[in-house]
Homo-oligomer: A and B are copies of this chain.
C-alpha cells in the first residue's frame, strides 16, 4: 500500500488536458450508466462549525475506485489552519484491498472541480468565447479560469467578489500570472455585461446572479452550491436559460441549484453533463442561447482523478 503526500501528488497531477481527459471519461461513463455512485454521506459538527462529506463511485471496468473524505471547518482560519482538508482512499475494485492513501489535503478535489468547469464550458459555451466573468475571488475562481484557458482562448477577465479589496488583490495577481486583461467590478451586473462565460464560485446562501445580469449567448457555470444551504443562482437564471445541465440530477436537487424548485414541477428538461458528452442529449444549439451548468461535485470525478493520480505517480517514478 502506498501513502502519498500532497507534494508528490502535486508534482504528478496538474490542471492540464491529460487530467481533464480522465475526468471527462468519468462523466461519460456516468452518462452511459456505467457508474455506481451512492448518495453523498454528510456529517455535520455544528459546535465546531464543521462538516465532512464523503463521496465515492465505481466506474465499471476500472481497476480502482476512490473514497474521498473532505472536511470544511470554518473556524480553522482563526487557529491558523486551512478550513478545507481531505484525503482519498484508493481501493482495488477487484479485491477491496487498499492500494493507496492520497494525503492530498483537498488538492485533487480542487483540480477535478476546476476540470469539470472546463468540461462544461467546452460542451456548452460558444467556441469563440473569450471574455470570462468570475464571481468570487478564492482559489477555485482562479482554478476555474485556468481550466477555461485549456478549452477556450480567453483574453479578458472580469471579477466581482463580495469583498472588493480581496477582489482587487486577486485581480492584480491574476493579471500578472496569466498575462491577461483582468478588471475588477463593484457590481455583478456590470461585471457580467460583456461575458461569454460566467463562473460563480462562492459559498453564497442567497442567490447572487439574476436573469437580468445575463448577456445573450452566455454560458454560466455555477460551482459554488454544494449543500442544502447554499445557492448562487436566482430561479430566474434557470428559467431564462435555453439549456440547464447538471453534473448529477439527484445532487443538484439536494445540494445544488435545482433545490430552489423543490416541490414544483420543472418547466424545463435537465440533462446530466455525461449524457451530453456521450451524445445522448444535446447541449447548445444556437449562438444566442443561454446555457447553465450546475456543478455540485461528484464521486465519479473523485474516482477518475484518483485513478489518474495513481497512474501519473507510477509513471513519474519510472
Contact = CB atoms under 8 A, between A and B. Distances in A.
A264 interface: no
A50 B101 contact: no
Contacts of A89: 69, 87, 89
Question: By CB atoms of chain B within 10 A, which of A38, A43, A47, A57 has the most?
Answer: A43
Interface residues of A, number: 40
Given A96-B52, A97-B85, A101-B101, A71 B91 contact: yes
A286 interface: no
A95 B81 contact: yes
A236 interface: no
A48 B79 contact: no
Interface in A66-123: 67, 69, 71-73, 76, 79, 81, 85, 87, 89, 91, 93-98, 101, 103
A43 B67 CA distance: 10
B67 A96 contact: no
A217 to B, nearest CB: 41
B47 A56 contact: no
Contacts of A81: 95, 97
A160 interface: no
Interface string A16-57: 000000000000000000001011011111011010101011
B65 A43 contact: yes
A139 interface: no
Contact of A36 (B36, B44, B94): B44
A52 B36 contact: no
Given A76-B96, A96-B71, A103-B98, A38 B43 contact: yes
A43 B56 contact: yes
Contacts of A42: 38
Contact of A48 (B39, B67, B93, B98): B93
A90 to B, nearest CB: 11
A43 B66 CA distance: 11
A303 B201 CA distance: 34
Given A67-B52, A101-B101, A45 B36 contact: yes
A318 interface: no
Interface of A: 1, 3, 36, 38-39, 41-45, 47-48, 50, 52, 54, 56-58, 60, 65, 67, 69, 71-73, 76, 79, 81, 85, 87, 89, 91, 93-98, 101, 103
Which 5 residue pairs are nearest across A and B when measured between Cβ atoms? A71-B96, A73-B96, A41-B41, A48-B94, A85-B96
16 contacts: A36-B45, A39-B41, A43-B56, A43-B57, A45-B65, A48-B94, A50-B93, A52-B56, A54-B54, A67-B69, A69-B91, A71-B97, A73-B95, A76-B96, A81-B97, A101-B101
